[in-house]
Amino acid sequence: MGALGYASSPAAYAVYTVAATIVIGLYLTLTGYGESFDVGSYLLAISPYMWASTGIALAIGLSVVGAAWGIFAVGASILGAGVKAPRITTKNLVSIIFCEAVAIYGIIVAIVFSAKLGAVSTYTAASYFTGYAIFWSGVTVGLCNVACGVAVGLTGSSTALADAHDSQLFVKVLVIGIFGSVIGMFGLIVALLQTGKAPDFKV
Amino acid sequence: MLTFNVDDGYLEGIVRGFRSGLLSSSQYMNLTQCETLEDMKLQLSATDYGNFLANEPPPLTTSVYFARLTERLVADFAYLRANAVGRAGKFLEYLTYAYMIDNVILLITGTLHQRDASELLDKCHPLGWFDAMPALTVATTIQDLYSVALVETPLGPYFKNCLSSHDLDELNIEIIRNTLYKAYLEDFYRFVTTELDDVTADTMKAILEFEADRRVINITINSFGTELSKDDRYKLFPNFGKLYPEGAARLARVDDVDAVKAVLEGYPDYRHLFDTADNKTLEDRFFEREVQLNKFAFMSQFQFGVYYAILRLREQEVRNIVWIAECVAQGQRDRINNYVTIF
């Protein structure tokens, strides 16, 4: 029973994978097909449309994840704190608006990039450049917006609780959240810079 | 912290709302200026308590105050329990076990002395209510009591480690209570440090360690002049806390209050407990320290320590108001300021 347990543990899977890789690698090398393991030609065989579309998907998808994370964090706190202090409910919607701005950065980037898509007859170096640029820009803005959404959301939750306790604290704690929302702006700017020089897909 | 608000964000907001409703020092001052209990009722109607005494027939007494204040506390706690899920629900359950232990001991003693069942049930603390409480009152032998308490309450594991039904007969009921409470504290400490996140653990460790040390000191002082042997005394000490292991071992051997003072000299947190500068009792100093630790619990967000803290601070508020009411009702205003200010 112990041996069977070991045979399916994560360490065992790692060992199997490494062993299989070594066996396949040696087989290819020793039978003269070593050059068929070509990472470069594999990457070139992936269409730049795939890269570009994935980038656009990540831009909007990850940005929305960040915004949603922030919004639920703020919303739960406003709901709880608003029971005792209903006056905070309207003012603290500004934290939710800051989280929403994060999703808007994502959609700006997605729309701008999807305008670059078009039909080409053959892939040129320029089209590969555009594909890679759009992919990594999408990753940039997406991950930055996840971080920004979480930051603004958690500080927005603290803002709601501080405001419920003492209304003079509202603006002071909100400033922290405003600084957090600048992170998303950074992601947007860098993403637009990355694709600034990328030409549209055209024939 | 990142996903805390999914399940527990609403309740944290509610608990912080309760915290901002605690009476402030200026409101306590107003209460101490009152001449009668009716005046106090008027002052309290301006606070979060509102018209909680509206339906009480005159004359008001301090026991009515105590009953209504506790009722409000229990209702608020019941709201928290109704809305808590997952680990928060388990944490709130742990908070009720202390009261359940008191209720079980009360019922066992009362039933053995043939007291009236409904009178006993009235005396039980509502926060420690469990469904089988009436069943405990109809049990006739020790065995029945023990098996009902073991099976129907979540306190079963605490009985298991220390007692058998044979012991329930012979051992002093206070020793049973203290043994159960020791097992409960140790279990709660284990729960907080292993199963919850570290922010809660940081807050609750400080509070629970103080609770353990407080029990060590109280058990030591209360056992002077009784026939509790030193080994039995040591067996009642919890196995965590600042005084564990050396301080507890030394306190298990002492015989008078001066020796206790000497042992505590080595612990900066507890050195001041026996100062005779102002006439506060040891109990008062313990309450003050407890209030201080519970106020610290509100300094962090996204943790469960605030539930424990609000329960203890509300209890302290009830004690304060009842103390002031007693002083006002009896006209003895010289010690009316002996309450522990919270904010």
pLDDT tops 90 at residue B145: no
Q: What pLDDT score was predicted for residue B273?
A: 85
Per-residue pLDDT band for B168 (boundaries 50, 70, 90) equals: low
> Percent of chain B having pLDDT more than 90?
48
Q: How far apart are CA A117 and CA A54, in angstroms?
A: 12
The mean pLDDT of B245-251, rounded to a whole number, is 89
| Nearest Cβ partner for A80 among B2, B6, B10 | B10
As a whole number, mean pLDDT of residues B56-70 equals 90
pLDDT tens digits along A36-62 = 888 888 988 999 999 999 999 999 999
| A178 band by pLDDT with thresholds 50, 70 and 90 | very high
Q: ipTM greater than 0.90, yes or no?
A: no
Rounded mean pLDDT of B268-278?
82
User: Is residue A63 a contact partner of residue A103, using CB atoms and an 8 Å limit?
Assistant: yes
pLDDT of residue B11: 95
For residue B97, how many C-alpha atoms fall within 13 Å in the half-sphere facing its CB? 24
Q: Give the B-side interface with A, CB within 8 Å.
A: 1-2, 5-6, 9-14, 16-21, 301
Given a contact cutoff of 8 angstroms between Cβ atoms, the answer to whether B205 and B193 are in contact is: yes
Whether the per-residue pLDDT at A1 is higher than 60: the answer is no
DSSP character string of B27-88 = HHHHHHT-SSHHHHHHHHTTSTT-STTTTPPSSP-HHHHHHHHHHHHHHHHHHHHHH--HHH
* Coil, helix or strand at residue B196: coil
Res B1 pLDDT > 90? no
Tell me what pLDDT residue A24 has. 93
Q: What is the mean pLDDT of residues B132-141?
A: 76
The chain A residues in contact with chain B (CB within 8 A) are 69, 72-73, 75-85, 150, 154, 157-158, 160-161, 164-165
pLDDT of B164: 62
The arithmetic mean of pLDDT across residues B212-235, rounded, is 89
Q: How deeply is A5 buried, as exposed, middle or buried, from its count of CB atoms within 10 A (0-12, 13-18, 19+)?
A: exposed
Taking phi first (over 0 means left), then psi (-120 to 50 degrees means alpha), and beta for anything else, what does residue B302 get? left
Sign of the C-alpha dihedral computed for residues B87, B124, B59 and B318 taken in this order: negative
Cα separation of the two ends of chain A: 63
Nearest to B17 among A78, A158, A164 (CB): A164
Interchain CB distance below 8 Å, A76 and B2:
no
Taking CB atoms and an 8 Å cutoff, what residues of chain B touch A87? Answer: none
Task: Give me the residue from B2, B6, B20 closest to A164, CB to CB.
Answer: B20
User: A25-39: per-residue pLDDT in tens?
Assistant: 999 999 988 888 888
User: Above 60 in pLDDT, residue B170?
Assistant: no
Determine the pLDDT at residue A121.
87
pLDDT at B252 over 80: yes
Q: Determine whether the interchain pair B16/A165 forms a contact, defined as Cβ–Cβ distance below 8 Å.
A: yes
Task: Quote the pLDDT of residue B113.
Answer: 80
Minimal Cβ distance to B9: which of A77, A164, A165: A77
Q: Quick one: average pLDDT of B2-12?
A: 93
Q: What is the dihedral of CA B306, B308, B309, B313, to 10 degrees?
A: 140
